[in-house]
Amino acid sequence: MSFKQLLDNLNIPYAEKKNELRGEYKDLKFIIDTNKNLFFCPGNDKEKGSVINFLAMVTGSDVRTAALDLHKRFIFKGYEPQRELPELKLHYCEFLENWKISKEIAENYGVGLVKQRSIVSGKIAFKMLDPESNLTGYFSFNHKEKEAGKNKWFFPRNFKRTLWNAAAVKGFKSLVVVCNPFEALCLIQKGLLNTVCLIGKSQPVKDYSVDLVNELLEFN
């Protein structure tokens, strides 16, 4: 722990020159050697030492109390309640129907149109599950975006590249890996339940086309 951090935390003003910090607290002048990370007070041989000794001096406490205080100020963050993930209602829609994805498959695999007020409202959302099938969030697709080159995919904050449907394929010895979750759903619809999809922010996804869907449905 540096003296700069402590002084800033205590809101004690100081002047910096080369390897020294100089200041005054309640008529007590101090000089800090930043190379050694030690302080002393001119004319007062008792007040000197480390950041712990300095905190004890300014708070009028003993060294042990100052050490615990320092720990609370800079190390211990305490319990921060986790924000609960919203449970979005996913509705079957024409876009999924055009992809020949059945309502049953969409419901079973957590895919659908979001109608409720949300950052992904009006988009096709996919549930993201961890290997234990716990909900970790949603990624979504703006199926109404027509502008060429514009990113149609939306990911939650701090999103990490993941393997969609990984939780459902634990028992399979081999996997079918694709890069489009809609294609993955088509293959699952065909009975290839061992299909997974790589999901990343550089998601290469083809737009819906009758030829693409028919090609997938004819796949053997």
Q: Looking at the domain assignment, is residue 182 inside a domain? A: yes
Answer yes or no: do 96 and 195 share one domain: yes
- What is the token pair recorded at 213? 């869907």
Separation of alpha carbons 50 and 63, rounded Å: 10
Which of 44, 74, 104 delimits the end of a domain? Answer: 74
pLDDT digits (tens, 9 = 90+) for 32-61: 999 999 999 998 888 999 999 999 998 999
Helices (H), 75-124: 94-98, 103-108
pLDDT band of 93, cuts 50, 70, 90? very high
Residue 210 has pLDDT above 50, yes or no: no
Neighbours of 102 (CB within 10 A): 15
Compute the average pLDDT of residues 70-77.
77
Q: Looking at the domain assignment, is residue 64 inside a domain? A: yes
* pTM for the model: 0.56
Lookup result for tokens 């800079």: 74
Answer yes or no: do 64 and 117 share one domain: no
Answer yes or no: do 67 and 97 share one domain: no
pLDDT of residue 130: 78
Q: Looking at the domain assignment, is residue 79 inside a domain? A: no
Q: Which of 85-89, 153-157, 214-218 has the lowest mean pLDDT?
A: 214-218
Compute the average pLDDT of residues 83-91.
79
DSSP 8-state assignment for residue 134: -
Q: Percent of the chain beyond pLDDT 90?
A: 30
pLDDT digits (tens, 9 = 90+) for 112-141: 999 988 778 899 999 988 777 888 888 888
- Which residues span the domain enclosing 103? 90-217
| Residues sharing a CB contact under 8 Å with residue 60, sequence separation 6 or more, in sequence order | none
Q: Looking at the domain assignment, is residue 177 inside a domain? A: yes
CATH number of the domain residue 24 falls in: 3.90.580.10
Q: Looking at the domain assignment, is residue 190 inside a domain? A: yes
Residue 67 has pLDDT above 80, yes or no: yes
Task: Please state the domain count of the chain.
Answer: 2
Q: String of b and e for 161-174 (b: at least 16 CB within 10 Å)?
A: ebebbbbbeeeeee
Q: If we measure between CA atoms, which residue out of 138, 106, 107 comes closest to residue 120?
A: 138
Question: Residue 39 class from Cβ within 10 Å (0-12 exposed, 13-18 middle, 19+ buried)?
Answer: buried
Q: Which of 4-13, 144-153, 159-168 has the lowest mean pLDDT?
A: 144-153
